[in-house]
Amino acid sequence: MRGALTLLLLGLLSGCGSQDGFDDLRQFMDEAGKKNAPKVKPLPPPRPHDTFVYQADQVPDPFSPRSLKGGQAAAGEADAGRPRSSLEEFPLEGLRITGVIERNGAFQALVVSPDNRLFAAKVGDRIGQNGGVITAISYKGMKVKERIMSAAGKWTEVTTELAKPEETTIRELKPAGK
């Protein structure tokens, strides 16, 4: 049984080793490939492009922490030694106006802090963590001017308007019993 299996394997291997019968097949495949080859348009020549020199060393890196130079801190906060008001503890976007009071022609804004404390603010008061100053108060809300350092390291003045909610109305208070 073992001998028959060996002879069978040798017969199969000898049949695979002959290359004589495939010459006509190879010739047919070469001719068929040349006759039916698809026509492909040649690629257009590459267009010239403008060169660009990337100069990242001239622009401040937005991902590195900024270091304040000596003169910039003094220019940003002219009165850094003064005592800070309670409204300067909170960021400006965390504060909201709940109402406006007018007394003798002067407006005061009722401002609520994020921890729900109520403050009365007038024009000229300091507000927010960026050294903001209240420049105007009206029935619609108040305007605050802040000095903010830009990404380039320069101080920029920004005016922000805090609007009073529309459902809040100003009522004239009358003493009780009259």
Does residue 123 lie in a domain region? yes
Q: How many domains does the chain have?
A: 1
Does residue 41 lie in a domain region? no
What's the pLDDT tens digit per position in 93-126? Answer: 999 999 888 888 889 999 999 999 999 999 999 9
> Closest by alpha carbon to 131, among 93, 69, 70, 78?
78
Question: How many C-beta atoms surround the C-beta of residue 134 within 10 A?
Answer: 23
Query: What's the pLDDT score for residue 171?
Result: 47
Query: What's the pLDDT score for residue 30?
Result: 83
Domain that holds residue 157: 72-77+85-163
Does residue 173 lie in a domain region? no
Residues of the chain above pLDDT 90, percent: 26
> What CATH number corresponds to the domain at position 127?
2.30.30.830
Q: What is the mean pLDDT of the chain?
A: 80
Does residue 92 lie in a domain region? yes
Does residue 49 lie in a domain region? no
What 3-state DSSP class applies to 118? strand
Is residue 55 pLDDT above 50, yes or no?
Answer: yes
Phi first, then psi, for residue 99 (nearest 5°) are -175, 170
Query: What's the pLDDT score for residue 167?
Result: 55
Confidence of residue 20 (pLDDT cuts 50, 70, 90): low
pTM summary value:
0.51
Query: What's the pLDDT score for residue 165?
Result: 79
Structure tokens at 64: 């590195």
Angstrom distance (rounded) from CA 143 to CA 103: 19
Is residue 66 pLDDT above 50, yes or no?
Answer: yes
Confidence of residue 51 (pLDDT cuts 50, 70, 90): confident
Angstrom distance (rounded) from CA 71 to CA 88: 23
Does residue 17 lie in a domain region? no
